[in-house]
Amino acid sequence: MAATNGPLRPWPIFLLAFCGACLFIINIILITGVDVKGRVSKIIVRPHKPFHIPPDAINEDSDLPDEIDRHPIVALTRDQLKKFKKHKLSQSSSFSQVIAKYRLKYGRHPPPKFDEWYRFARKRKCANLDDFDQIMDDLRPFYGIPPAEIRAMVRAMDTPKSRVSILRIRSNKVAETLRPDAWRAGIFAKMLGVIAEYLPDLDIAMNYLDEPRVVVPWEELQERLAIEQKNRVQPAETVNEFSKIDWDNATKVEVDPGFFEFSGMNYMDIASKGCPPGSYARRPELDIKRIESTYKDPVGGFIRDFNRSSDLCTMGPTLSNLHGFLFSSSTTVPSQKLIPIFGECKVNVNNDILFPANKYYDPDDTRYAYDPSGDGPWHEKTDQMFWRGVTSGGVQNNATYMNLQRHRFVAMTNGTKLGNDTTYTIMAAISEDNAIGEYTPTYFHPANFAKVATDVAFSEIVWCVPNCDFLADKLSARPGLAFKDSFKYKYLVDIDGHSFSGRWHAFLKSHSMGIKATIFKEWHDQRLFEWVHFAPMDNRFDDLYALLTYFMGLEKGAEGSDGAYVPRHDTEAKRIADRSREWATQVLRKEDVEIYMFRLMLEYARVVDDNRDHIGYSGDGSEVDAEEKDGWWGRKQRRWWSR
């Protein structure tokens, strides 16, 4: 055997020598030929399109509904599918690509240990190496403040009044937690534990309230962002290490985190200050219809831009009396100063730093974790929309309850309560046989449909002021179902409580289809696409029946239909369920939470480092990519020699 291999042996050596020579020459050209300083000053941040994607790959639309179907949702799905495919195909596949994109987008070198982050992410089979814009969005303003001041603010938050837990990393370990009794802190510490070995000494302030905390006025934020933009640098030489920071010495600077009590007040009063001067939130005289058309389909009322549907600068005035967080929140303790607080969710004007919610990392929490034992194939599921939850969302008394989002939703799906005179607009087929696939807006009496097509109720009626007696004749609780029993239904709707709902990952991972309305942003938003992975819904729910009749269909002659007919799109619903499941098992895993946390903590550690402009990873990434190739080549070679 060895004899047959013998004559081939010199080849790899020749090849290596040849490549080495090429690399040497390229290096020489690069070193001598490129004016690094000149390049740095000319860096312009623009949307990146550095990698070619074959158009066929995006236009391939085998999982699209029928061409002839002109329902507005079909067109929306087609657009979003293209966006998603493009997004997926444009993900980097090597370290060199990741850092090239990083520098182009953010105008800086990646933070120290970024190479370790990449190895960590690869090991965990990360499918979306570029999906981390949220981290930069959250941290950019802090480049407008000196690092010592940021650290002093963390210190200043170390009081019970601040309602934060402070977690400390010392000597590459999670050393202690101040106010650890807050339930969120335990899981947060667990997440940090996985990556602490890579991190410098850090103090991290974590919000333990449900509600987000920070709203910096728009004008001030723009100043901070301008400083950040002006100070972007990519020095030729950097240290790929964090500095040693003495956090315990940060007490020197006295700062006031500026918290104040705002529970139950009109949140738009402070939120609108965080909005641009030309926005609807600050110019209520603008035409709401025109504003709405920027994110909502003018014909069917379907959400075209889910991100914008929760933008309080656009929608806030319309929603301010329809969402508990905005008009009757039970605990709002905000600050209008730019302070570094890590939180699980926020509204678009908040400056909290998002981290993956604890509920997404705790496999033992049966109220939120996906348990496949309750799930089954699509065709075995009940053809209904299902929801259970408690009466949360804000302070409930006899004057506020009917405007809280969960109460509104339960009321508008209650067939008994709806009665015969309530109507909603749906999109009905224009002709009896639907031969031309055209639809037209039609009034619809949903009372009977709601009885048949929905199973929505509170599981518990609690936390009312002064007590829940006033709800006795208006609501009835249907307790007793475990969370995993939700998966017996085809359509699972997710509605905000005091803040985000925490069920979302489980819904996406299941074989059921998710429907979502929310005003809250979370860490994963950028990786999920409406109409591809879930059906988006307006926070006013005015599109609910148009949505449900599209997916479930409305038979000719059904009670309340007044002769209207909507063809069923069960296959399209199943496709959404399948796509969300497939994608969620790639990008919403426990590992993905760790990958996000790792990158987030590296960025945070850099922005609080006195040396932040001179530390970072300044290489071209080739040595890390070579490791992977070596690994592969080495294995091949070993197998080859041992034949």
Ligand X SMILES: *[C@@H]1O[C@H](CO)[C@@H](O)[C@H](O)[C@H]1NC(C)=O
Contact residues for ligand X, defined by CB under 6 A: 246, 249, 307, 398, 410, 414, 416-417, 420, 457, 466, 473-476, 525-526, 559
Q: How far is the CB of 410 from ligand X (least distance, A)?
A: 6
* CA nearest to 393, candidates 498, 322, 311, 290: 498
Asked if 233 and 40 touch (Cβ cutoff 8 Å), the reply is yes
Tokens, residue 521: 């942003």
- Looking at residue 155, the DSSP 8-state letter turns out to be H
Rounded to whole angstroms, how far apart are CA atoms 641 and 204? 52
CB nearer to ligand X: pick between 158 and 525: 525
CB nearer to ligand X: pick between 122 and 282: 282
Q: How far is the CB of 45 from ligand X (least distance, A)?
A: 13
Rounded to whole angstroms, how far apart are CA atoms 224 and 117? 28
Q: How far is the CB of 252 from ligand X (least distance, A)?
A: 7
Q: How far is the CB of 465 from ligand X (least distance, A)?
A: 8
Q: How far is the CB of 622 from ligand X (least distance, A)?
A: 31
Rounded to whole angstroms, how far apart are CA atoms 412 and 424? 10
DSSP code per residue over 388-425: EEES-SS-B-TTTGGGSHHHHHHHHT-HHHHTTT--EE
Q: Is 164 helix (H, G, I), strand (E, B) or coil?
A: strand
CB nearer to ligand X: pick between 358 and 414: 414
Tokens, residue 617: 């990873």
CB nearer to ligand X: pick between 65 and 324: 324
Q: How far is the CB of 292 from ligand X (least distance, A)?
A: 16
Q: How far is the CB of 192 from ligand X (least distance, A)?
A: 25
Q: How far is the CB of 278 from ligand X (least distance, A)?
A: 14
When CB distances to ligand X are compared, the closest residue is: 476
Query: Strands of 202-207's sheet, edge to edge?
Result: 173-178, 164-170, 202-207, 342-343, 353-354
Q: How far is the CB of 248 from ligand X (least distance, A)?
A: 7
* CA nearest to 575, candidates 65, 58, 59, 60: 65
| Neighbour tally for 435: CB within 10 Å | 10
| Neighbour tally for 581: CB within 10 Å | 20
CB nearer to ligand X: pick between 194 and 453: 453
**Residue showing tokens 């929306």:** 76
Q: How far is the CB of 430 from ligand X (least distance, A)?
A: 23
**Residue showing tokens 């933070």:** 111
Q: How far is the CB of 399 from ligand X (least distance, A)?
A: 6
CB nearer to ligand X: pick between 332 and 561: 561
Q: Is 583 helix (H, G, I), strand (E, B) or coil?
A: helix
CB nearer to ligand X: pick between 159 and 398: 398
CB nearer to ligand X: pick between 60 and 559: 559
- Looking at residue 552, the DSSP 8-state letter turns out to be H
Q: How far is the CB of 1 from ligand X (least distance, A)?
A: 57
CB nearer to ligand X: pick between 64 and 148: 148
**Residue showing tokens 């006295």:** 254
CB nearer to ligand X: pick between 266 and 307: 307
CB nearer to ligand X: pick between 312 and 624: 312
Q: How far is the CB of 205 from ligand X (least distance, A)?
A: 21
Q: How far is the CB of 526 from ligand X (least distance, A)?
A: 4
3-class secondary structure per residue, 280-326: CCCCCCCCHHHHHCCCECCCCCCECCHHHHCCHHHHHHHHCCCCHHH
| Residues 438-447: b if buried by 16+ CB within 10 A, e if exposed | ebeebebbbb
CB nearer to ligand X: pick between 241 and 559: 559
Cα distances (angstroms) measured from residue 75 to each of 85, 353, 457: 16, 35, 33
Q: How far is the CB of 161 from ligand X (least distance, A)?
A: 26
* CA nearest to 406, candidates 424, 386, 391, 416: 391
CB nearer to ligand X: pick between 101 and 184: 101
CB nearer to ligand X: pick between 417 and 568: 417
CB nearer to ligand X: pick between 146 and 235: 146
Tokens, residue 523: 């860490």
Rounded to whole angstroms, how far apart are CA atoms 537 and 518? 8
Rounded to whole angstroms, how far apart are CA atoms 340 and 319? 28
Helix (H) or strand (E) holding 15: helix 10-33
Please classify residue 74 by burial: count the beta carbons closer than 10 Å to its beta carbon, then call 0-12 exposed, 13-18 middle and 19+ buried.
buried
What dihedral do alpha carbons 175, 192, 497, 476 form, nearest 10°? Answer: -80
